[in-house]
Amino acid sequence: EVQLVQSGAEVKKPGESLKISCKGSGYSFTTNWIGWVRQMPGKGLEWMGIIFPSDSETRYSPSFQGQVTISADKSISTVYLQWSSLQASDTAMYYCAVPTGAPSWGQGTLVTVSS
């Protein structure tokens, strides 16, 4: 059974950096694309980007290019989503997801950015 377990909720101030994680198990982590989805409060789902852990090829949706960094550590089957300088508008729920096969999602990580 595919399991994606995400790191816990975060409360940060504007301008701070942040890296959240998602650990996969129960499937071949290195040979399946895995990505991140954003859901802002009261809004819909948005694909941020995806990474192929085997060679770290990464593809960003245009709205998120340059705004975040997606990376993976295949030695520990973990994918990351990173911000260098958070803004209040980054407040959202973030999900990791394997979009192929029978798609699987993590439980979500709530990121709150507030001064």
Partner 1 sequence: QSALTQPASVSGSPGQSITISCTGTSNDVGTYNLVSWYQQHPGKAPKLMIFDVSKRPSGVSNRFSGSKSGNTASLTISGLQAEDEAHYYCCSYAGSNWAFGGGTKLTVL
Residues near partner 1, by CB under 8 A: 35, 37, 44-47, 49-50, 59-61, 95, 99-105, 107-108
At closest approach, how far in Å is the CB of 61 from partner 1? 6
The residue (of 85 and 89) whose beta carbon lies closer to partner 1 is 89
The residue (of 41 and 75) whose beta carbon lies closer to partner 1 is 41
Cβ neighbors of 95 (< 8 A, separation 6 or more) are 6, 36, 37, 39, 105, 106, 107, 108, 109
Which 3 state secondary structure label does DSSP give 29?
helix
User: CB of 83 within 8 A of CB of 60?
Assistant: no
The residue (of 49 and 83) whose beta carbon lies closer to partner 1 is 49
